[in-house]
Amino acid sequence: MKKRIAIVAGGDSSEYEVSLRSADGIYGFLDKSVYEPVIVCLHHGDWKAQLADGEWVVIDRNDFSYIDKGEKRVFDYAYITIHGTPGENGVLQGYFDLIGLPYSCCGVLAAAMTFNKYVCNHYASGFGVNIAPSVLLRKGDSISDDEVIEKIGLPCFIKSNVGGSSFGCTKVKTAAAIQPAIAAAFNEGDEVIIEAFMKGIEVTCGMYRTKNNTVVFPITEVVTKNEFFDYDAKYKGQVDEITPARISDNLRDAVQAQTKRIYSILGCRGIIRVDYILVPTIENDSEEKHIVDGHKIMLLEVNTTPGMTATSFIPQQVRAAGLEMGDVLRDIIEN
């Protein structure tokens, strides 16, 4: 009998539409001879499953079941592809833990930690991971332009601490732009990060681990003509995504090793993607500072429910590794 897989998408953040595109990608990747995938959309209390004929039916939140042709259907597994709350921050993971439904990604603690960029990066820094200087603001907090310039400097990035896809993110070059950027970031959530600008090569590296395998994918180099890797660059093609990245073998190996280390530090599960800036430096090579071939490896953020459309980073990296997405997903689901 085929396993029924809930591809859980939607969510309550600005990334709702992005999540639905990822769900379509996963639906296409899954082997229909082995699995019966069902897209489940969660949006502001409206939970529904899409039947084979396209009809949407209500999900019973008591056990995450639904009715099809008069019969109750339950799921064997949930593949979470919500980018944002409640699927990326540990809330949905806690619910699935309570009802005993296995799922694809990090557990409650790791999901909650990685969703909070400030907490995640500063936690990782305690293990020697390089991060940019940053300041956290919560709703009701304020900071003067002079304080930002003194503590962080210009240019800097001002972004939501709990958002994604660069919604509410601004590269700030002048003092006059600081307060409007803070206001824009607060529109995405109740916490805002002000982070120092890091000039260098932007790369991203995906991986997953099961009880049988640890697989680190080839690294992607991100090159955009925009001010930064913003929404238009991510989803409207205004970027060159080069896999494998044009970096030295030593630097490639170091980034992949750092990705495995971060995976272990955070206690991740399933597929993650870690974003970095490789900053040129004149410091001597140092294992402790993760400086390799004249570049310091700086953590940007950790994504525990990365995009899964056909053109997203992870499917690109899987193809570059000579693997098939369907096989990767099957390895995760079965192991």
- Of the candidates 331, 283, 321, 276, the one whose C-alpha atom is nearest the C-alpha of residue 303 is 276
pLDDT of residue 30: 97
State yes or no: pLDDT of 229 exceeds 70. no
Q: Which comes out higher in pLDDT, residue 81 or 283?
A: 81
pLDDT of residue 164: 52
Q: Are 89 and 112 in contact (CB under 8 A)?
A: yes
What are the start-end ranges of the H helices in the chain?
16-29, 91-99, 108-115, 117-125, 145-151, 178-186, 231-235, 249-266, 313-320, 325-334
Amino acid at 163: G
Pairing between strand 3-10 and 35-43? Answer: parallel
pLDDT band at 226 (very low <50, low <70, confident <90, very high): low
Which residue from 44, 40, 41 is spatially nearest to 13, judged by alpha carbons? 44
Q: What is the mean pLDDT of the chain?
A: 93
What are the tens digits of pLDDT across the range 259-304?
A: 999 999 999 999 999 999 999 998 888 877 889 999 999 999 999 9
The helix (H) or strand (E) run that includes residue 244 is: none
State the first-to-last Cα distance of the chain, in angstroms, to the nearest integer: 18
Instruction: Tell me the average pLDDT across 154-178.
Output: 85
Task: Identify the three-state secondary structure at position 133.
Answer: coil
Contact 9, 40 (CB under 8 A): yes
Per residue in 84-104, pLDDT tens? 899 999 999 999 999 999 999
In angstroms, the CA 81 to CA 115 distance is 14
Residue 134 has pLDDT above 80, yes or no: yes
Residue 234's pLDDT is what? 45
Average the pLDDT over 187-200 and give the result: 93
Q: Give me the pLDDT at residue 228, please.
A: 47
- The whole-number pLDDT of residue 235 equals 45
Find residue 50's DSSP bridge partners: 56
* Residue 227 binned pLDDT confidence (cut-offs 50, 70, 90): low
For the cut 90, the answer to whether the pLDDT of residue 48 exceeds it is: yes
Q: How confident is the model at residue 311 (pLDDT cuts 50, 70, 90)?
A: confident
pLDDT band at 13 (very low <50, low <70, confident <90, very high): confident
C-alpha 90/C-alpha 109 separation (Å) is 7
Residue 132 structure tokens: 């940019």
What is the pLDDT confidence band of residue 236, given thresholds at 50, 70 and 90?
low
Instruction: Give the bridge partners for 44, in sequence order.
Output: none
User: Which pLDDT score, from 0 to 100, does residue 282 have?
Assistant: 87
pLDDT at 166 over 60: no
Query: Residue 230's pLDDT is what?
Result: 44
Would you state the structure tokens that stand for residue 52, as one six-digit string? 């084979």
Say if residues 100 and 74 touch (Cβ distance below 8 Å).
no
Contact call for residues 22 and 83 (beta carbons, < 8 A): yes
